Structure 1
Amino acid sequence: MSGLVRTEPLRGEPPLRVPGDPYSVVVLLQGYVEPEGVGEAVRADGSVTLILPRAWGPAPSHREPPPDGGEAKTTLEEAARGPILVDTGGPWAREALLGALAGQGVDPADVTLVVGTHGHSDHIGNLGLFPGAALLVSHDFCLPGGRYLPHGLGEERPLRLGPGLEVWATPGHGGQRDVSVVVAGTTLGTVVVVGDVFERNGDEDSWQALSEDPVAQERSRKRVLGTADVVIPGHGGPFRVVREGWDPETKGPGKNQQSPMVGNEDPTMH
């Protein structure tokens, strides 16, 4: 890793909350990967992250699904007005996911948008829990009932979901169609939920062996490290990105640090 950039673990156990305005980030389930028995078998599951708009609060009745008309940009922005789930873990984590959502006062029917960072089963194994949500899985965007909309997402064209909230094309690990979610304006700066662009903090010696396109993934990793203050990886705890000797005036939007506030109590959430 470049001498100008280093990483360090972000302490805290799930559910780990990072308040923000207009969006807060909650790590519901922390991904892991562990050797299983002999040989090369592993036991693994992906991280699950909740993004909550500040203005959202649990409603007494279930919300209406996103409209099925209009262009993709408008429909995505409408879907992002409610809770957004980034990855869902594997089907074996179903009860843990439901319990983690309930702990945040969120019912599966409240979730208006699910973003799957890539198509591996340990990251999108519970999509069936959210039949009323819009789905953006890799680069496929569809509305409830399976109505697919074109949107133009690419490495040079992110999808804007709201103020400081974007979906980036970050190819590499699963091929050309992986995505990450970028959340600016939190108390820790810009948080990027990356799927398996980063498996974990300190994965420099291992990520290439798991990548379908290491050249593209290296490009994606550098892009993330150039923007993120906090990275939520696919199979480990969140970590900070520390830029040594970094000029704050060149950091761009969303990089000005506020006083850190991370924990299991968030006074800004409803």
Structure 2
Amino acid sequence: MSGSVRTEPLHGETPLLAPSGSYSVVVLLRGYAEPLGAGDAVRADGTVTLVLPRGWASDSSRRSTPSADGGTKTALEEAVRGPILVDTGGPWARDALLESLATQGVAPGDVTLVVGTHGHSDHIGNLGLFPEAALLVSHDFCLPGGLYLPHGLCETQPLRLGSGLQVWATPGHGGQRDVSVVVEGTSLGTVVVAGDVFERLGDEDSWQALSEDPVAQQRSRERILSVADVVVPGHGAPFRVVREAAKSSEDQICEGKEVA
């Protein structure tokens, strides 16, 4: 039985750190969007999130470059054996990104996959820091050196990268090829790194003006809210999703409510 969904701040998690048996989620840089003075000028940068495989430790002797020899599926499996970066922020955030990675014991050469949720400069402005990583930017998947591989990602078919780790097609904000990363089974439940499908908590009255396809984005938002326990938005703090089951007629009668 369906019920209502609400969102609320996620308290006590700064920065967000959500470990799991397979992958842990760490928000490295929190995105922001700040209006400046008169007119429509906005100073902004996108959120950067790190997804770490369980038990990973920096060890260059174990570092291997994903290969196309076994096809796309094998290349994706190899790409998620090391640290995964979801978005990179803008080029002006280069030093802050490197410092935040270092605090997690990750060097740029350790990163094996970078997922760009969409092609805006404040989300993929530091791709050049990771020439040895596989790249999944929007729906384009390529290996180091620019070898592009086909895949079947679409709204009805996610890319399953590992146990409890998926990439979803979530179109709308930047057009038809936006993606989100879904990490299941963390200490906070299912965490969805959503890019700009959600700008921030409480963006209900503003996201449409920034959307290339509001109809598709509304569909993506509803889909994410149906599964997420925590959403990492593109320009704000992570927030919690609370789903409340609809009350049955019997429950309402017991509470003294009149049922039509």
Q: CA deviation at 1:216?
A: 0.3
Contact 2:6 2:243 in 1 (8 A): yes
Contact 1:191 1:232 in 2 (8 A): yes
Q: CA deviation at 1:14?
A: 4.6
1:113 aligns with 2:101: no
Contact 1:30 1:46 in 2 (8 A): yes
The letter for the 2-side match of 1:83 is P
The letter for the 1-side match of 2:195 is G
The letter for the 1-side match of 2:190 is T
The letter for the 1-side match of 2:167 is V
Contact 1:14 1:29 in 2 (8 A): no
In 1: Cα distance, 2:3 partner to 2:34 partner: 30
Residue aligning to 2:140: 140
In 2: Cα distance, 1:28 partner to 1:73 partner: 28
Distance 1:129 1:246, change over 3 A: farther
Number of residue equivalences: 246
In 1: Cα distance, 2:107 partner to 2:100 partner: 10
Q: CA deviation at 1:62?
A: 7.1
In 2: Cα distance, 1:246 partner to 1:168 partner: 28
Identity of aligned residues (%): 77
Distance 1:13 1:190, change over 3 A: closer
The letter for the 1-side match of 2:198 is F
In 2: Cα distance, 1:55 partner to 1:19 partner: 11
In 2: Cα distance, 1:51 partner to 1:198 partner: 19
Residue aligning to 2:59: 59
Distance 1:24 1:206, change over 3 A: same
TM-score by length of 1: 0.88
In 2: Cα distance, 1:38 partner to 1:61 partner: 54
Q: CA deviation at 1:67?
A: 1.4
The letter for the 1-side match of 2:159 is L
Structure number, greater radius of gyration = 2
Q: Deviations over 1:26-73 (max 9, x none)?
A: 000000000112210000000000000112111155712111322112
Unaligned 5+ segments in structure 2 are 248-260
The letter for the 1-side match of 2:104 is Q
Residue aligning to 2:224: 224
Contact 1:22 1:53 in 2 (8 A): yes
RMSD: 1.5
> SS at 2:183's partner residue?
strand
Residue aligning to 1:195: 195
TM-score by length of 2: 0.91
- Indicate the structure with greater helix content: 2
Distance 1:97 1:62, change over 3 A: farther
Residue aligning to 1:41: 41
Unaligned 5+ segments in structure 1 are 248-270
Distance 1:41 1:12, change over 3 A: farther
> SS at 1:135's partner residue?
strand
Residue aligning to 2:253: none
The letter for the 1-side match of 2:240 is R
Contact 1:52 1:83 in 2 (8 A): yes
The letter for the 1-side match of 2:166 is E
Contact 2:3 2:246 in 1 (8 A): no
**Which portions of structure 1, spanning 4 or more consecutive aligned residues, are displaced by more than 6 angstroms?**
none
Contact 2:3 2:245 in 1 (8 A): no
Pairing 1:90-169 to 2, within 5 Å after superposition? 90-169=90-169
The letter for the 2-side match of 1:157 is Q
Residue aligning to 1:254: none
1:25 aligns with 2:31: no
Q: Which has the higher contact order (CA 8 A, sep 6+)?
A: 1
> SS at 1:4's partner residue?
strand
1:205 aligns with 2:201: no
